[in-house]
């Protein structure tokens, strides 16, 4: 669970939120595709979605159970915190699918 503490509380459904909690681990590929499809239907294309602030903010909103408009209404600093948390989740260590240098050191070399 990624938690982003906000400088300015978010007003949503009559409540004042001082932090946004995003269940990024609970997202599925289908969630990501649906976010991208919705953007495309709106005429908003992101050739490199994993680096698009719009895409990342919408993924964050989905992971937090918030409407995209709520995240997009955040101040610039808070908005970037949400976007950065999502991006770090995607590109964090071990996300490449390749073994890390530490894992390579543990694996004995193949014998010819």
Question: How many Cα atoms within 13 Å fall on the side-chain side of residue 91?
Answer: 9
Q: Are 80 and 57 in contact (CB under 8 A)?
A: no
Residue 37 CB neighbours (<10 A): 10
Share of the chain above pLDDT 90, in %: 70
Q: Average pLDDT for residues 57-77, to the nearest whole number?
A: 97
DSSP single-letter state for residue 66 = -
Share of the chain above pLDDT 70, in %: 82
Q: Are 78 and 40 in contact (CB under 8 A)?
A: no
Answer whether residue 109 shows pLDDT above 70.
no
Distance set, CA 39 to CA 24, 35, 63, 87, 96 (Å): 19, 6, 16, 18, 25
Q: Using one digit for the tens of pLDDT, what is the confidence trace for 20-57? A: 999 999 999 999 999 999 999 999 988 888 889 999 99
Answer whether residue 111 shows pLDDT above 90.
no
């Amino acid at each position: 669970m990624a938690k982003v503490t906000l400088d300015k509380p978010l007003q949503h459904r009559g409540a004042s939120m001082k932090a946004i909690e995003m269940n990024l681990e609970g997202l599925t590929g289908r969630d990501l595709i649906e976010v991208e499809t919705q953007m495309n239907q709106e005429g908003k294309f992101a050739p490199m979605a994993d680096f698009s602030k719009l895409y990342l903010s919408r993924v964050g909103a989905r992971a937090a159970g918030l409407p995209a408009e709520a995240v997009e209404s955040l101040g610039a600093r808070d908005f970037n915190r949400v976007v950065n948390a999502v991006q770090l989740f995607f590109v964090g260590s071990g996300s490449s699918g390749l073994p890390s240098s530490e894992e390579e050191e543990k694996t004995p070399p193949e014998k010819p």
